[in-house]
Amino acid sequence: MKKSGYFIIGIICFLMTAGICVQVKTVTTWDTGPVVQSMTENKLRDNVLKAKEKYENEYKLLEQSMEELENLRNVAAKDNTDAQNMEKQINDANILLGLTEITGKGITIELNDANDSELAGNLNDYLVHDLDLVEVVNELFNAGAEAVSINGQRVVFSTAINCSGNIVKVNDEKIGVPFKIKAIGLPEKLYGALDRPGGYLELMEEDGVQVKMEKSDDITVPKYEGVYKTEYMQIVE
C-alpha cells in the first residue's frame, strides 16, 4: 500500500473515534435514563432541554441584575442616613420574604417511603404524601420555625404544596422522595414539637414511613427562586 493509503486510513480512524467520543459525551451529558427508541420523542426531549437551559440562563441574568441593583443601592446609600435606613428596611424585608439564603441553627427531617419488605395492607399508608409535608411544615411553623425548605424549595407565604401523581409539587417545582426538610429555629423546641408522643411524625412512623430527625447548629436554607407577582391586591386608602 502507498503512503497516501496509510494517511487516509489514519484520517478515517480519527473521524470514527472523534464521532464516538462526541456521541458518548452527548448521551452522558443529557443523561436521559433509559434508552429512547423514537426520534420524535427525542425531538420533544430536546425542546424541553433547550427550554430549561434558556430558563436557567435567564434566571442567571436576573440574579446578576439583582446583584447589580444591590451594589448600586449600596453606593447610593453611602453618604445618606435616610437612604441607609431604607436600605436596611429593604434587606430586612428581603430576609422575611425568603429572597436571601440564610443560615442558622435548627433541625433537619428526612422522610422516605416505607421499605418494600414491610408492605401489607393499604399501600397509601406507606408513602409520603403532599398532606404529610403540609402537616410537618405546619408543625414546624407552629413551633416557631423562621425558615423552612423542602428539598431545596423555600417555603414562603405564597408556597403551595400539592400532589402531582407520584411526586409532590412545591412552589410549582416537582420534588420526590426522600424529602429533606430543613428548618431554622430553636432546635430543642422544633425537635420537641415534632417528636412528641402522638405527634404527626410518630403516626407516620407507625404507618411504616421512614423518618429521620436531627438537630444541627449549622443549617443553610436556600432562597426562594420564584418571582413574586401581585396583580389584584391594593393598599386600602
Q: Which residues bind another protein (CB under 8 A)?
A: 1, 4-23, 25-27, 29-30, 32, 37-40, 42-43, 45-46, 49
CB of 220 to another protein, least distance (A): 32
CB of 196 to another protein, least distance (A): 51
Q: Do the Cβ atoms of 201 and 136 come closer than 8 Å?
A: yes
CB of 63 to another protein, least distance (A): 24
Residue pointed to by grid coordinates 436571601: 100
CB of 52 to another protein, least distance (A): 12
31/79 with CB nearer another protein:
31
* DSSP assignment of 64-79: HHHHHHHHHHHHHTTT
19/121 with CB nearer another protein:
19
Q: Do the Cβ atoms of 106 and 214 come closer than 8 Å?
A: no
CB atoms within 10 A of CB 99: 18
50/174 with CB nearer another protein:
50
CB of 57 to another protein, least distance (A): 16
Round to whole Å and give the CA distance between 143 and 153. 20
49/131 with CB nearer another protein:
49
9/167 with CB nearer another protein:
9
**How deeply is 219 buried, as exposed, middle or buried, from its count of CB atoms within 10 A (0-12, 13-18, 19+)?**
buried
